[in-house]
Structure 1
């Protein structure tokens, strides 16, 4: 009778190692979705620790620590949502890889926030509420806290549903809701709010119209010409020079206006000088790059790749310089009110608060930005370097012109509206040629209406989702902020 031997648990070394490998793979697969939230949570905790270090000169430390944590949370949401408007078109046009876009945007956003970010920020979001209507400093602090929390939650929700929203409008809605909950309807400047509401229409329509106009110009003057390369040698330097002049003016007014006060006339002269210099440099560059190119549109597109990357970089720099205040404005107000025991319409931003805003935007872009970048760059309509260049040029030029005439606009709405603009222009252009071709075909070979509708070049589902998110942003954040203010004041 054979001797009984108990069966070992591990049969062979190879199978044992295979099991362990499978466990490691399963663990990595499960933990991967938790990596980004884990890093984000670590940054939020670090922001709270930075606030705690500054508490040796601030009373009411726990409030400041909580505000710093929510400020970091808001900054990361801005990075995840807002930056897609600048880098999305470049990625969709394959001018940049996702990794390259995130790296460039992270550096440019941080540099813009730290170098040209405002030393002074309006804590009541463009005079939305009257500080005199707020009862005392404690009420003001809780109102700013409610505005910060509601704004961060709404931008997070918008990012989750892939809807690029205006973070400026989000903060405005949060401050308005908290102000109403704290001091009633009379505390709100309704004239300013009506101007902001009008920007829901003005911004995307202007952005789309200007982008479509630039695309029509390029089609007629370059793409539809018999000698496309010769036409490109004439027009590309002019368009790049126009871009340089617009961006120089834009940065002089918006980006570095916090460092050196520049009047509009001086900013315009700076833009003209920059445009002339870039034209002088670009003419030989285009001529040299276009040597030996085939006479087709694909060759012309290559001439717009480098200008598009530069435009996206400058847009990110300007965005970091301006929109960092949306993340840290309420936080700066809370720090000032807690430290001084009073509140003011404008306060100086401490350096540690600026660091939280700058690096928070970069972290949010790195961890959660690809979701919106893909949506803006690839899922609304198909982009190439020419179309994406028109989007960037439209964004900068429309902001400058609107600011010049005092029109209330949102850079987010302009950029996304420009993407829709080039898409709808392409639809119109293709439909016009299709109708001509349809008339020349026999009746039995013409495309059916359902097939024509299916060939639309702009996804209507994304269009309706984004428009709805824009319209709902201010009232939704206002309601959330008012409820959060009531909760905070009830338990404190």
Structure 2
């Protein structure tokens, strides 16, 4: 019976990964689609591929938090994992079908806590406070930063051939320094692109440190962007926009796959005795398929209904979202990418004074905020009830 429940939980995890791919990983590409730098169908294709790769490369820390850090005193069983994932995926699917992006992190976190408490676990209050603090900071920090970046990019005080290369170089530096679990690294060393390159450079080659390599990458990217802007400003800005979209998509996969795989991680360790990387691969495949099948509608909803962004304001929306999600991965905090992207889109969308300005839909935003709160509370209550109901069936425990 334990093996059967583990299989049910695995199927539920794949269903959740599919739902996350269709729902949460659609939002990052929306500003590029809204700015006409990508078509909706091409954006949906990239959602699956790039987010799936990010899931495998960066999904471990948040999966660990969801699987082990939300309740105390118990180990999540296959039945509890199945109750968590089925509850969360069903709620998200309902929201997705209605055209309202439901925050996966809120839903899964609530469902995981509900099932864990029903199992007999205690509340991990310290973890909750850290996660809630991070969640509350997201709209403030992102909104302010996106607004400030949009003001600088749209204004004429600093020319594009200065601001855009600096931003491109800064993002390149950050990408070179992010931790990737698939890269080899000595004990205690950071598994980053810059670190791997630095360790394989011949002795005496400058730079030989990870920071130096990351700096060199930033300079090269900034120089390439400056050269492109000198040739054609519009093409250069669109290329940066697409590049940022890919970076954010990669990050979204890493931050979201743990919502699907986290509840199943204890099951993999105890019942199946398999390493976590296999679980992340399965989650990445589920995200890829979900992104290809269901994301076009959500891309349109976020791109057109929350705010109408031009290329520069889209860049201003992407950068805070990228930095926020990478910080969440570093700390192991589950986040909703819908919330991350919408916060940035609203911040950038509030800037006026240009031909490509647009409005922010207050009604749509209000419905979304209500969905954020309701999904977490509802997920906890429904998951608690579902676990108790399933546990009462003879032979399922």
- Normalised-by-shorter TM-score class: 0.7 to 0.9
| Structure 1 position 474 matched with structure 2 position 380 | no
| Partner of residue 251 from structure 2, selected from 318, 325, 332 | 318
Change (3 A) 1:92 1:456: closer
| Residue 241 (structure 1) aligns with | 169
Change (3 A) 1:485 1:407: closer
| Partner of residue 396 from structure 1, selected from 308, 322, 328 | 322
Change (3 A) 1:183 1:149: same
Map residues 344-423 of structure 1 onto 2, 5 A cutoff: 348-349=275-276, 351=278, 353-400=279-326, 410-423=336-349
* Alpha-carbon displacement from aligned partner over 1:214-268 (angstroms, at most 9, x marks no partner): 001112246xx7xxxxx2223322222223223333xx23x44875452899776
| Partner of residue 155 from structure 2, selected from 213, 217, 220 | 220
Change (3 A) 1:156 1:457: same
| Residue 274 (structure 1) aligns with | 217
Measure, in 1, the Cα distance between the counterparts of 2:377 and 2:223.
Answer: 49
Q: How many Å apart are 1:287 and its aligned residue?
A: 1.1
Assess if the C-alpha contact under 8 Å between 2:66 and 2:334 holds in 1.
Answer: no
| Partner of residue 288 from structure 1, selected from 228, 231, 240 | 231
Gaps of 5+ in 1: 1-58, 226-230, 291-300, 341-346, 431-454
SS at match of 2:60: coil
Map residues 43-62 of structure 1 onto 2, 5 A cutoff: 60-62=2-4
Measure, in 1, the Cα distance between the counterparts of 2:287 and 2:63.
Answer: 17
SS at match of 1:304: helix
Assess if the C-alpha contact under 8 Å between 2:111 and 2:380 holds in 1.
Answer: yes
Q: How many Å apart are 1:103 and its aligned residue?
A: 1.6
TM superposition score normalised by structure 1? 0.69
Measure, in 1, the Cα distance between the counterparts of 2:52 and 2:28.
Answer: 14
Change (3 A) 1:406 1:157: closer
Map residues 119-158 of structure 1 onto 2, 5 A cutoff: 121-122=63-64, 124-125=66-67, 127-130=69-72, 133-134=73-74, 140-158=77-95
Assess if the C-alpha contact under 8 Å between 1:118 and 1:258 holds in 2.
Answer: no
Measure, in 1, the Cα distance between the counterparts of 2:239 and 2:342.
Answer: 21
| Partner of residue 334 from structure 1, selected from 260, 264, 267 | 267
| Residue 359 (structure 2) aligns with | 457
| Partner of residue 162 from structure 1, selected from 82, 99, 108 | 99
Higher normalized contact order (CA 8 Å, seq sep 6+, divided by chain length): 2
Change (3 A) 1:383 1:401: same
Q: How many Å apart are 1:424 and its aligned residue?
A: 2.2
Assess if the C-alpha contact under 8 Å between 1:125 and 1:171 holds in 2.
Answer: no
* Alpha-carbon displacement from aligned partner over 1:57-108 (angstroms, at most 9, x marks no partner): xx83321221122111101110111112211111111100012111222221
| Residue 132 (structure 2) aligns with | 197
Q: Which has the larger radius of gyration?
A: 1
Change (3 A) 1:269 1:324: farther
Q: How many residues align?
A: 374
Change (3 A) 1:64 1:408: closer
The root-mean-square deviation of aligned C-alpha atoms, in Å, is: 3.1
Measure, in 1, the Cα distance between the counterparts of 2:346 and 2:61.
Answer: 35
